[in-house]
């Protein structure tokens, strides 16, 4: 059976060898300040649609350098809001890479549009601008650039490809909070930039998402979209002395609560230190893994600062008894919560049935998807944990060597 993504947060979720703690591939980090912030929100007059939402949005905008930040109930909701803000609908095509979570493409389908899959670069596993150029057509309305593992795409190259075509670029920055490209922070790299606040992401609100933009009109539209498409919120009605409202567009209940925003604001204070810790741990992997036979590291572009949401390597499954899945199973037996990111979206059953996608559509992504292994990386780890992962990885690879 193929392995699917597992997010163990319970220390007993895996069975590590005696004397070592379980290392999931990632997990949230919550401290007393976070707990106190949530308790204060619980004791306040507002549990949702209150002042902590605007406070979090302002703090997130400041952290990313964007003019506007719109908080939503999940990263998926954030992506959906970007498609709604751009008026994507039936007959429209949006170019998406296949090596991503399904939400990057699902958001197009939610609006009645058609995702068109463009292949990734074999070194970085990021959306390949040349592949985008080949998929551009008269119905193309947008490109979703996925910052895979926390490394920003080549946005200048993508902008050059779509220049003059009336095509918007949306950054799926769900992995990339704290990253930068050519000195510009993630959150300012595209017209619309979507983030996830899931527990394994750089900061968390338990579930949640944010879209950043410099366009106040698009921000206002997404705020209406997250609140059922109602044209005014309760504050506006109070200022106007009104008690009725009008739903002018079809929207959704995609609001993020004050409890979650209180947690998110508290977490943002710790983001710089956590990012530095992730980079130190990634550098340790970078130093040790080249000596491990049978692995290839994902290439890092010289003009980016990586957020390292994930640390991904590629194995050589043809050299392993049982292939890549046996490697992951062997690591999990050692208490190392390895997993994969991702099964190609166009090969999911829904996309095969709805859009007729199949093997061969994106050969680079398909090959990479059979080789990728995500290793543990989160700020609570230390260098000894990285050393242990590398030691266990080498041992399991040696055992499986065909």
Residues ≥6 apart with Cβ < 8 Å to 348? 102
Q: Indicate the pairing of strand 304-305 with strand 180-181.
A: antiparallel
Q: Count of CB atoms within 10 A of residue 219's CB?
A: 23
Tell me the Ramachandran region of residue 213: left when phi exceeds 0, alpha when psi lies from -120 to 50, beta otherwise.
Answer: beta
The 3-state secondary structure of 159-200, one letter per residue: HHHHCCCCCEEEEECCCCCCCEECCEECCCCCCEEEEECCCC
d(CA 331, CA 339): 9
Tokens of 69: 């930040």
In the DSSP assignment, the letter for residue 202 is: S
Tokens 């410099």 correspond to 214
Return the active site residues: 201
């Amino acid at each position: 059976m193929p392995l699917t993504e597992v997010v163990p947060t319970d220390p007993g979720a895996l069975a590590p060898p005696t004397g070592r703690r379980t290392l999931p591939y990632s997990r949230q980090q919550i401290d007393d300040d976070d707990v106190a912030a949530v308790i204060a929100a619980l004791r306040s007059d507002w549990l949702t649609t209150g002042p902590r939402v605007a406070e979090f949005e302002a703090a997130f905008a400041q952290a990313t350098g964007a003019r506007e930040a719109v908080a939503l109930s999940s990263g998926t909701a954030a992506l959906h809001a970007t498609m709604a803000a751009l008026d994507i609908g039936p007959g429209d095509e949006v170019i998406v890479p296949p090596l991503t979570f399904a939400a990057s493409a699902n958001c197009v389908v939610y609006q009645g549009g058609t995702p068109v899959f463009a292949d990734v670069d074999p070194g970085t596993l990021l959306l390949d601008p040349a592949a985008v150029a080949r998929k551009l057509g008269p119905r193309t309305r947008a490109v979703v650039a996925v910052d895979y593992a926390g490394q920003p795409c080549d946005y200048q190259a993508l902008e050059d490809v779509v220049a003059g075509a009336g095509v918007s670029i949306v950054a799926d920055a769900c992995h990339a909070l704290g990253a930068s490209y050519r000195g510009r922070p993630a959150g300012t790299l595209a017209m619309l930039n979507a983030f996830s606040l899931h527990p394994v992401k750089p900061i968390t609100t338990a579930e949640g998402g944010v879209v950043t933009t410099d366009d106040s009109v698009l921000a206002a539209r997404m705020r209406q979209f997250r609140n059922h498409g109602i044209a005014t919120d309760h504050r506006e009605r109070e200022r106007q002395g009104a008690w009725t409202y009008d739903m002018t567009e079809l929207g959704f209940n995609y609001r993020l609560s004050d409890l979650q925003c209180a947690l998110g604001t508290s977490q943002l204070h710790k983001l710089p230190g956590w990012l530095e810790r992730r980079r130190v741990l990634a550098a340790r992997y970078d130093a040790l893994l080249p000596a491990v036979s049978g692995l290839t590291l994902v290439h890092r572009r010289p003009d980016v600062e990586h957020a390292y949401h994930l640390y991904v390597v590629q194995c050589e499954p043809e050299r392993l008894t049982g292939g890549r899945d046996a490697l992951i199973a062997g690591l999990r037996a050692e208490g190392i919560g390895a997993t994969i990111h991702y099964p190609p979206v166009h090969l999911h059953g829904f996309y095969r049935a709805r859009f007729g996608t199949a093997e061969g559509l994106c050969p680079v992504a398909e090959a990479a998807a059979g080789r990728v292994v995500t290793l543990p990386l989160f700020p609570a780890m230390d260098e000894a944990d990285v050393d242990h992962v590398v030691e266990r990885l080498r041992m399991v690879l040696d055992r499986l060597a065909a």
